[in-house]
Structure 1
Amino acid sequence: MSDRDALAARLATEFRARHGRPPAGVWAAPGRVNLMGEHTDYNDGLVLPYAIDSAALAAVAPRDDDRLTCQSLDRPGTAAVDTGDLRPGAVTGWPAYVLGAVWALGWPRTGPPGLDIVVTSQVPAGAGLSSSAALTCAVTLAVAELAGLETDRTALATVARRAETDMVGAPVGIMDQMAAMHGRADHALLLDCRSLAFEPVPLPGRESGLTLLVVDTRVSHANADGGYARRRATCEDAARTLGVQALRDATVTAVRTTLVGEQRRVARHVVTEIERVRLAVAALRHDDLTGLGEIFAASQASMRDDFRISCAELDLAVDTLLDAGAIAARMTGGGFGGCAVALLPETAVAAATAAVTAAFGAHGFLSPRAFETRPSHGAARVY
């Protein structure tokens, strides 16, 4: 039995203990690591995430009244609201992600109006691995299947995103939800965030002797906080100044000759980062790992110097991983903390982990958490 299967069984048992009946099922949706394309999703650009083998899980069962309840194995308390009162502002904190998914589906449409939901997660919160999208996608798929609603994965991804943007107030793009819904084992997802067209891109498998290592700096961030929203607002302002629909439509020349100051820096990152997604995909398809490392380095520099979303801990993690033998390394996620990702030989993992831990200790930072990840499948019923 896998760790996820064991956690699903535990969640089902806990649901029964709390509600006196078994859940109708348990659904899981993964977190994600973004290999390339940071802050390009809400600029209608390209991204290259992969779903990870850690997930959020939701056990759900209908009620015979119009009450919605939400509990977590990881946090105390119960959130409860009548379906008729479910709207933005009715719940706050983590329950807004869970019940926001119910609201975004337009619940109730069919079947019993009430629901009991108990959730848990393997995805660390605030690490830039999209724990929030994993949670909303697990609940979205669960409730949609229970209600007999349309379960087209792209449509459900847009519903899960609406839960975050409209219910929680986090101005996120669509990348995280699409990765959680469409993830494929041993592949990344090349996603066009304007058309929502996507295609799988094979990643080096175990036979290559390479692995993807994630280093959680334990510097927490939150998408609803001001830094992320300010960067997005600057992107939108820059697009208006350039007279384009989104920065995806801008050119490096236009950015250089038309924009100044923060708008120029931010737009330059977005325009060049979209091109780096294309280059990274080409490098992976041609097994050009040296080229991939150069592309990662350019992305890290752009996020640090132009978009300014890195931090001392992320910079140290990336530099130390490269010194310890990583082929490619960069920060991943929304920034202002979170994680770095590196592609490196499996034989170098132990030494790289020890090196990062030692470097953090020498600088007086919190001890980081390093773990290998495997590109995984998307959301599914697991119990």
Structure 2
Amino acid sequence: MAAEQPIPVYTNLNDLYGSLGTSLNHAEKWNTVAEEFQRRFGRKPAYIARAPGRVNLIGEHIDYCLFGVLPAAIERDILIAISPRPNHQEHAPGSVVAENMHTKYIRQVFAPAPRRRASISEEEVHMEEWHLDINTKELRWESYIKAGYYGVLVNYFAGGGSPVPVDILVTGTVPAGSGLSSSAAMVVGSTLAFLAVNGKLEPNFTGTGPQISKGQLVEMAVGNEKRVGVNSGGMDQAASVISIPSSALYISFFPELSASAVPLPPGAVFIIANSLVVSDKAVTAKRNYNLRVVETLAAARILARSLGIKVAKDEKVTLREVVGRLAGEVEEVGEMPVEWLSETLQRMECEAERLKPRNATEDGQLGVTMEEMIEMSGLSTEEFNQVYLSWVKVEATHFQLYKRAKHVFSEASRVLQFRQTCLSAASEASNPSTEPPSPIDVVRNLGRLMNESQTSCDQLYQCSCDELNELTKISRDAGALGSRLTGAGWGGCTVSLVLESGVDDFIKKVSESYGPFKDLKGEALNEVIFATKPSSGACVYKFE
């Protein structure tokens, strides 16, 4: 399986460039960061870690509910050059000098602080924890670097030993707050860079030692990003790490992380357009992202209780787990067949009606108050707060349990339909005994699913915004067969499915119709609207 493969460590740039795609000049970018590192620090880097951004083709806000999603890595990425500091005995253990090639970010210097654990266990007497100051209220670029570093410290230096002091240089082409997962790419790249420079990525000279798999890196990166205040479901990190060229990636999180390639149909490309509305999901999390996480978790418990499904008092059961228990799924056997899951999802879209307020309101309010939600859960106020609110801050007068669950179940169903459409088309095209489906019919079907997803994101999950709604409408009018927001929403990017022959005309029409694009030309326009080929996942280049 793809998740079990090791992280690629290249020593030949031709092999590395060949894995990244062809629409960008990767060689120029990698040479530039190596030369800039040499100029600033007086020596070449020991490693460059790469982590791509991602575009989610369909499956929004369902990964943390443990339903499968369909992202693809893009060619735009984060690069982190790193090298041990000479005479490292003269520096504090693990100290970091971090610079960013973007001029708006200033140099940062920090060091982890070891501290003894308050434990009387003999096994833990000599264990150490580490502390790094990460400000989750005022999110800064180096917070993502620290988050990745912290995961390496607690996983590989808790039992003794000291990380080496390093210099690092960061650059990237994934726009921040755009919905292309620049934050996950930063954390994945940081984690990889610190693993590599501390000798934790490759087997040692005896052929033993750590050989970290892609799946292990994903799990570590998910935990690391939570340290900046975002409760990520894992889709962003998995797409950044596990993706392969020319395919989308079907990522399933239940009963465990798994990933498989989904070949995309020929004749159409995906075009990304940035609404230029910046969405900082860490800053707005209590009203947006983290609130949605709590709403889906509470909805899962309440649905389970209504359907007679047993849930432990301290369990944060997910909507996917409720579906599995309702269908009699056995976790030890693996994920239920797709047909079985699809049928159960259709039923759950109806069962979601149970989440509406018991008493109709004059204004048609479909949400419930905190008091109503707690009563519906069957828990006491203290129990509910401990399970659902003790670990996260949220703000809401009404919790939209019905709308969130309705979106999750219908979106999970659309993902399965999208995946099956691609797989069936690829299978029939390769079978000489059957007549292949019309490529345009396949693409139109995928576009229809994308449009339905956008409507659901806007009306049920309420994670769109006026600019995204306008941009998706303009995109469809310009010839897109499907257009939807991608990423967490509330700003950021759209992804549109466009026939390959109409890409230039599409970009011209959108740039002339969407207000913020009208005065942009050349490279400035290319930064906000561009076609991208599915790229490979994260990797490391080792300088010899």
TM-score (norm 1): 0.92
1:216/1:340 contact within 8 Å kept: yes
Per-residue deviation, residues 64-114 of structure 1 (Å, max 9, x unmatched): 132122211114312222222663534551101012101111266367532
Report the AA paired with residue 63 of structure 2.
Answer: D
AA in 1 matched with 2:147: G
How far apart, CA to CA, are the structure 2 residues paired with 1:293 and 1:90? 41
Max Rg structure: 2
How many residues end up aligned between the 2 structures?
378
Matched, 1:97 2:256: no
Structure 1 position 18, deviation (Å): 1.9
3-state SS in 2 of match to 1:35: strand
Report which stretch shifted further, 260-269 or 283-292. 283-292
Distance in 1 (CA, whole Å) between partners of 2:153 and 2:356 is 42
State whether residues 25 and 61 of structure 1, in contact with CA within 8 Å, keep that contact through their aligned partners in structure 2.
Answer: yes
Query: Which residue in 1 is equivalent to 2:424?
Result: 286
In 1, are the aligned partners of 2:268 and 2:443 still within 8 Å (CA)?
Answer: no
CA deviation after TM superposition for structure 1 residue 188, in Å: 0.7
Structure 2: 5+ residue stretches without partners? 1-16, 18-23, 115-129, 201-209, 305-310, 312-316, 324-347, 358-365, 367-399, 426-441
Q: Which structure: greater strand fraction?
A: 1
Percent sequence identity over aligned pairs:
31
SS of match in other structure, 1:23: coil
1:360 aligns with 514
Shift of 1:129: 0.1
2:405 is aligned with 1:272: no
Kept after mapping to 2: 8 A contact 1:158/1:174? yes
Q: 1:366 to 1:332 in 2, by over 3 A?
A: farther
TM-score, length of structure 2 as denominator length? 0.66
* Structure 2 counterpart SS, 1:126: coil
Match of 2:269 among 203, 208, 211: 211
Tell me, in whole angstroms, the C-alpha distance in 2 between the residues paired with 1:218 and 1:90.
27
**Matched ranges for 1:144-183 at <5 A:** 144-149=195-200, 150=210, 151-166=212-227, 168-183=228-243
Q: For 1:73 and 1:21, locate their aligned partners in 2 and report how far apart those are by CA, in whole Å.
A: 16
Which residue identity is paired with 1:373? T
Please state if 1:247 is matched with 2:337: no
C-alpha change, 1:259 and 1:193, in structure 2 (3 Å) is farther
| 1:263 equivalent among 380, 388, 401 | 401
Q: Identify the match of residue 504 of structure 2 among 336, 350, 363.
A: 350
Q: Distance in 2 between matches of 1:235 and 1:90?
A: 28
| Residue pair 2:72, 2:248 contacting (<8 A) in 1 also | yes
Residue 69 of structure 1, aligned match among 88, 97, 112:
97
**Conserved? CA contact 1:49–1:188, under 8 Å:** yes
- In structure 2, what is the equivalent of residue 378 of structure 1? 537
Alignment counterpart, residue 289 of structure 2, candidates 212, 225, 228: 228
SS in 1 for 2:113: helix
Gaps of 5+ in 1: none
Q: Taking structure 1 as reference, are residues 366 and 296 closer, same or farther at Cα in structure 2, changes over 3 Å only?
A: farther
Distance 1:289 1:358 in 2: 25
Match of 2:81 in 1: 59
Give the Å deviation of 1:346: 2.3
Partner of 2:190: 139
Q: Is the 8 A contact 1:29 1:134 kept in 2?
A: yes
SS at match of 2:43: coil
Report how far residue 321 of structure 1 moved.
Answer: 1.6
3-state SS in 2 of match to 1:286: helix
Aligned partner of residue 268 in structure 1, secondary structure: helix
Take 1:121 and 1:364, find their aligned partners in 2: how far apart are those partners? 22
